[in-house]
């Protein structure tokens, strides 16, 4: 399919919703242009030196020199890396050892004498891997999930592994061998690894040869598709054990196809989960589930995963697996990020054993004991780790919960399809104000920054007219870690950075619901229970709202009305009334405010 913009990705068009395709046709839009403008890293041609992967940042210039040479001379990257490997081995006086010669000869590299003659810097834990990553386009790295593990993370993740008695280790997605070479007090014959990228497999082999310079051995690293049925056969042919005592890896982080609605329902109803239940989920979920087929009973299995596994709805099945099928021993929050990857990561430490009633949580404040009980308090099994003190407050809110927002009316803001052309900074004749998420504050809406001609037929996506023009509605910021709900009785329009809610809660007016949702207590409950980076309808629908009597309803209504009219003093009264309603002690109120303040500080630091 051709357009003026070029060739459209057929898969992308196939996966587009019917409403999106209908909007493209109605607006006469260029589908190819829209697709290419999305923040799709798989198409990125950027390259960057993975500074966080280097042991010595002074070696950045050497890496850049290597990439520039490859580009300037049109040398195949594979051959250039082979020549660089020879140079490194020569400097370490290993290039003539028979086991080293066997590894190099097996690859049949074309000679690149210029690079082979370089004097590479010593002391770098994986110079080859850093050069490979720096020379690879970001889009290709994204498709492969090729974001290698920094040395410090690999070392701390495996530091307590005891290899006495001939215990064995496997990294099924070893990349350049960060985990393989980070192991301590181990014999090379106890180390096994694999990767689907043949260049990564070669790099891992070289790094193992460098780790054990005084040993004559053949690195036990194979090129395989770990998720395929043929992986076991390839492992047997290479002399691998059937199962391992330790499995640790940083799997590819990449999205796979999404299961259909019927399949999701079938998985949700299953009492236990197996590998096939992850077959259409993110790749790292499948790697994680598969790893247990390779682990001995009681074996330690540790994975470096994106922090989103703890709370994002799409990873619910993985969290079920962790709570139902294996022993979850520890969640370790890491502050490090990878070059080109925005999300932070966690190390999920498990054991091939039955579930436990406790686990350890490690973060910047240290290690504490937690219980998985809070995981079962939400439909999506969100992993939250409240202290006993915090859990008592959360439990009190849940105990008084009688209603929720599941029967309320929800709607998205306007999607214009082209903000640059449609939105106006200065009102023109026939224009109407439209508000964004930035103008939404607790209870009130700030003056508008944009205007538009409200012609529904020319807008890409709009909600029902009666929702925009409802006598009363709540509007909230969507992209936020905090609950921020404004009360609107002026039938305003809002862009899609804001969502709309018309609450249907017995005994509670729209203003009263606004008071609850904006309160310090419900902010505490929401952040401690869900910890999401976005305010989601699915999570708001689970908030346990209390039964409000008419007297309290009228009092909260009056407070909100005065706030909307400009009296900020009533905010304090609302919080005090709600704290008393739930019977919280002075110490519990102080705890709520302390945690909310910490959350605000954390958001400012991270964003």
- Quick check: helix, strand or coil at residue 123? coil
d(CA 86, CA 454): 67
pLDDT of residue 310: 94
Dihedral sign, CA of 457, 460, 466, 471?
Answer: negative
Domains of the chain, residue spans: 2-38, 146-386, 403-606
- Tell me the pLDDT of the chain averaged across its residues: 87
Kindly list the distances between the CA atom of residue 253 and the CA atoms of 37, 171, 490, in Å, as whole numbers in the listed order.
22, 15, 45
Torsion angle (degrees, nearest 10) of CA 290, 293, 297, 302: -30
pLDDT in tens, 105-157: 999 999 999 999 999 998 899 999 999 999 988 766 666 666 788 889 999 99
Nearest to 200 by CA among 254, 139, 256, 250: 250
Do 231 and 225 touch, CB atoms closer than 8 A? yes
Do the two domains 146-386 and 403-606 of this chain adopt the same fold? no
d(CA 36, CA 41): 11
Backbone angles phi, psi at 10, to 5 degrees: -60, -40
pLDDT in tens, 11-33: 334 444 444 444 444 444 444 43
The strand ranges marked E within 204-326 are: 221-223, 244-249, 295-306
More confident call, 478 vs 522 = 522
Q: Please determine, looking at this structure, whether the domain spanning 403-606 carries the CATH number 3.90.220.10.
A: yes
**Which runs of consecutive H residues, i.e. helices, occur in 417-485?**
419-422, 465-468
Q: Kindly state the average pLDDT of the residues 259-286.
A: 55
Kindly list the distances between the CA atom of residue 408 and the CA atoms of 403, 442, 501, in Å, as whole numbers in the listed order.
11, 20, 7
Nearest to 204 by CA among 282, 126, 106, 90: 126
- The answer, yes or no, to whether residue 603 has pLDDT greater than 60, is no
More confident call, 65 vs 481 = 65
pLDDT band at 367 (very low <50, low <70, confident <90, very high): very high
pTM listed for this prediction: 0.80
What stretch of H or E contains 452? Answer: strand 450-452
What CATH number was assigned to the domain covering residues 146-386? 3.40.50.150
Question: What interhelical angle do 510-518 and 569-581 show, nearest 10?
Answer: 90
């Amino acid at each position: 399919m051709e357009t003026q913009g070029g060739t459209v990705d057929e898969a992308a068009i196939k996966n587009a919703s019917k409403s999106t395709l209908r909007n493209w046709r109605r607006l006469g839009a260029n589908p190819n242009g829209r697709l290419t403008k999305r923040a799709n890293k798989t198409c990125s041609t950027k390259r960057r030196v993975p500074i966080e992967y280097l042991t010595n940042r002074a070696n950045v210039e050497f890496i850049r020199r290597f990439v520039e040479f490859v580009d300037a001379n049109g040398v195949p990257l594979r051959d250039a890396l082979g020549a660089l490997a020879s140079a490194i081995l020569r400097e370490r006086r290993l290039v003539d050892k028979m086991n080293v010669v066997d590894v190099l000869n097996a690859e049949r590299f074309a000679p690149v004498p210029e690079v082979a003659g370089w004097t590479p810097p010593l002391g770098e834990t994986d110079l080859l891997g850093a050069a490979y990553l720096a020379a690879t386009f970001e889009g290709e790295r994204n498709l492969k999930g090729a974001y290698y593990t920094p040395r410090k993370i690999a070392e701390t993740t495996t530091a307590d592994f005891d290899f006495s008695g001939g215990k064995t280790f496997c990294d099924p997605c070893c990349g350049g061998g960060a985990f393989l070479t980070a192991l301590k007090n181990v014999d090379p014959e106890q180390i096994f690894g694999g990767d689907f990228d043949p260049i990564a497999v070669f790099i891992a082999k070289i790094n193992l040869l460098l780790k054990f310079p005084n040993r004559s051995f053949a690195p036990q690293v194979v090129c395989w598709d770990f998720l395929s049925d043929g992986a076991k056969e390839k492992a047997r042919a290479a002399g691998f054990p059937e199962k391992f005592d330790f499995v640790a890896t940083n799997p590819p982080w990449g999205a796979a196809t999404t299961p259909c609605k019927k399949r999701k329902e079938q998985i949700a109803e299953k009492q236990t989960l197996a590998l096939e239940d992850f077959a259409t989920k993110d790749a790292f979920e499948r790697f994680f589930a598969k790893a247990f087929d390779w682990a001995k009973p009681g074996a330690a299995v540790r994975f470096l995963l994106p922090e989103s596994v703890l709370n994002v709805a799409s990873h619910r099945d993985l969290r079920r697996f962790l709570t139902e099928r294996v022993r979850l021993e520890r969640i370790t929050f890491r502050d490090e990020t990878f070059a080109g990857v925005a999300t932070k990561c966690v190390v999920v430490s498990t054991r091939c054993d039955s579930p436990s009633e406790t686990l350890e949580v490690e973060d910047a404040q240290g290690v504490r004991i937690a219980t998985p009980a809070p995981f079962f308090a939400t439909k999506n099994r969100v992993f939250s780790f409240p202290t006993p003190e915090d859990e008592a407050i959360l439990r009190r809110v849940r105990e008084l919960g009688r209603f929720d927002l599941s029967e309320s009316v929800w709607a998205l803001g306007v999607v214009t399809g082209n903000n640059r052309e449609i939105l106006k900074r200065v009102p023109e004749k026939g224009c109407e104000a439209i508000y964004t998420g930035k103008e939404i504050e607790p209870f009130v809406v700030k003056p508008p920054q944009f205007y538009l001609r409200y012609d529904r037929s020319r807008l890409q996506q709009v909600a029902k007219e009666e929702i925009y023009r409802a006598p009363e509605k709540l509007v909230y910021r969507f992209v936020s870690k905090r609950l921020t709900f404004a009360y609107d009785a002026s039938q305003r329009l809002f862009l899609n950075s804001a969502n709309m809610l018309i609450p249907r809660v017995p005994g509670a007016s729209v203003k009263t619901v606004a008071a609850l949702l904006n309160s310090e207590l419900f902010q505490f409950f929401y952040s401690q229970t869900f910890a999401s980076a976005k305010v989601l309808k699915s999570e708001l629908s689970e908030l346990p709202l209390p039964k409000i009597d008419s007297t309290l309803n009228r009092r909260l209504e009056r407070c909100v009305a005065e706030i909307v009219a400009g009296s900020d003093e009533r905010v304090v009264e609302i919080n005090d009334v709600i704290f008393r309603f739930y019977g919280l002690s002075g110490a519990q109120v102080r705890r709520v405010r302390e945690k909310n303040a910490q959350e605000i500080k954390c958001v400012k630091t991270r964003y």
